[in-house]
């Protein structure tokens, strides 16, 4: 079974990512601003998780549709943040061509799949459903900063706030990050430990730019944080704003 099918559909997921609830109050408005779209725009939140960013997108005046593979996340989304949301696979979106003005792909949600072709297909699907000139905001971990932090931390296990244990390290080929987490809890009436493993491709800056271009997305600007800070190799976040190309990409201007 794919790790994301298993991990994101377990109730322990919400405990591990509990901090994201508070972070959404800062990240959501920042990411909505980076979309740079007018009020009334049709925005897809992909993947949407439990909908933590929906309030900020709606506060910016957007018409929001969420999509996620996890039924557990979608059930919570519908309870806490009512609004359109659908179950989907990011490699085969259930939306018609050119239906969206913007797509938000937040918090390192590109790179889940094991092959380069599958990860590219996610971007190609984003491009397919965007209207010409439509905007994609792709929010990723800064690779250089992440690798440096992992070297400093070492490959061992650490306690995270008394809630779970974690070990994060690069894959043997240095292209993916492997995050193992063990959490104790009562699941289905039984007290036991649950183990998660996220296995995510962490692309270099040239790899991101090349994939966007191949997918038919023209890079407009890159940022170093949700506050719109300038992009830098050492930034904790690499955020790329791209537009659906109306035609050939030759001569497109790219600011960094």
The CATH number assigned to the domain holding 82 equals 3.40.50.150
Quick one: 109 and 19 in the same domain?
Answer: yes
Residue 71 lies in a domain: yes
Quick one: 16 and 61 in the same domain?
Answer: yes
| pLDDT, average across residues 94-107 | 97
- Could you give the CA distance from residue 145 to residue 23 in angstroms, rounded to a whole number? 20
Quick one: 41 and 55 in the same domain?
Answer: yes
Residue 114 lies in a domain: yes
- Could you give the CA distance from residue 91 to residue 89 in angstroms, rounded to a whole number? 5
- Domain containing 155 equals 145-200
Structure confidence by residue, pLDDT tens digits, 102-149? 999 998 999 999 999 999 999 999 999 999 999 999 999 999 999 999
- Could you give the CA distance from residue 197 to residue 210 in angstroms, rounded to a whole number? 28
Residue 254 lies in a domain: no
Q: Are the beta carbons of 216 and 127 closer than 8 angstroms?
A: yes
Residue 255 lies in a domain: no
Q: How far is CA 43 from CA 111, 219, 235, 244, 256, in A?
A: 21, 18, 26, 14, 24
Task: Please say if the pLDDT value at position 28 is more than 60.
Answer: yes
Quick one: 33 and 110 in the same domain?
Answer: yes
Residue 43 lies in a domain: yes
Quick one: 93 and 59 in the same domain?
Answer: yes
* Token pair 């944080």: residue: 225
Single out the residue of 77, 190, 76, 205 nearest to residue 141, CA to CA.
205
| pLDDT, average across residues 217-235 | 97
SS3 (DSSP) at 108: coil
Quick one: 89 and 193 in the same domain?
Answer: no
Quick one: 30 and 64 in the same domain?
Answer: yes
Quick one: 23 and 101 in the same domain?
Answer: yes
Task: Please say if the pLDDT value at position 183 is more than 60.
Answer: yes
Quick one: 86 and 74 in the same domain?
Answer: yes
Quick one: 81 and 120 in the same domain?
Answer: yes
Structure confidence by residue, pLDDT tens digits, 142-177? 999 999 999 999 989 999 999 999 999 999 999 999
The sheet that has 190-201: what strands, in order across it?
A: 158-160, 164-170, 176-187, 190-201
- Could you give the CA distance from residue 207 to residue 114 in angstroms, rounded to a whole number? 15
Residue 251 lies in a domain: no
Residue 87 lies in a domain: yes
- Could you give the CA distance from residue 55 to residue 48 in angstroms, rounded to a whole number? 12
pLDDT of residue 1: 64
- At residue 176's C-alpha, the angle toward residues 170 and 178, to 5°, is 55
Quick one: 8 and 105 in the same domain?
Answer: yes
The overall average pLDDT reported for the chain is 93
Quick one: 57 and 160 in the same domain?
Answer: no
The pairs formed by 246-254 with CB atoms below 8 angstroms and a separation of 24 or more are: 246/132, 246/133, 249/213, 249/216, 249/218, 252/218, 252/219, 254/209, 254/218, 254/219, 254/220, 254/221
Residue 223, C-beta contacts closer than 8 angstroms, at least 6 positions apart = 34, 229, 230, 231, 237, 238, 239, 240, 241
Total number of domains constituting the chain: 2
pLDDT of residue 252: 36
Residue 256 lies in a domain: no
pTM of the model as a whole: 0.93
From 200, 216, 231, the end of a domain falls on 200
- Could you give the CA distance from residue 203 to residue 217 in angstroms, rounded to a whole number? 17
């Amino acid at each position: 079974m794919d790790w994301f099918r298993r991990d994101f559909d377990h109730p322990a997921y919400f405990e591990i990512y509990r901090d994201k609830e508070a972070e959404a109050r800062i990240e959501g408005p920042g990411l909505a601003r980076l979309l740079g779209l007018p009020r009334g725009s049709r925005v897809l939140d992909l993947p949407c998780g439990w909908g933590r960013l929906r309030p900020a997108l709606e506060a910016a005046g957007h018409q929001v549709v969420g999509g996620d593979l996890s039924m557990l996340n979608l059930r919570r989304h519908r309870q806490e943040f009512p609004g359109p949301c659908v179950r989907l696979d990011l490699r085969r979106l259930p939306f018609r061509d050119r239906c969206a003005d913007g797509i938000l792909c937040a918090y390192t949600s590109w790179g889940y799949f094991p092959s380069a072709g599958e990860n590219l297909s996610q971007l190609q699907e984003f491009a397919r459903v965007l209207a010409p000139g439509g905007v994609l905001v792709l929010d990723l971990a800064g690779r250089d900063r992440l690798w440096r932090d992992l070297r400093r931390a070492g490959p061992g296990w650490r306690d995270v706030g008394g809630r779970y244990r974690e070990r994060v390290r690069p894959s043997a080929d240095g292209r993916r990050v492997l995050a193992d987490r063990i959490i104790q809890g009562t699941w289905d009436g039984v007290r036991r430990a649950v183990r998660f493993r996220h296995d995510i491709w962490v692309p270099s800056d040239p790899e991101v730019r090349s994939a966007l271009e191949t997918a038919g997305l023209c890079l407009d600007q890159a940022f170093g944080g949700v506050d719109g800070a300038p992009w830098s190799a050492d930034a904790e976040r690499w955020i790329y704003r791209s537009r659906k190309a109306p035609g050939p990409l030759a001569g497109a201007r790219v600011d960094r």
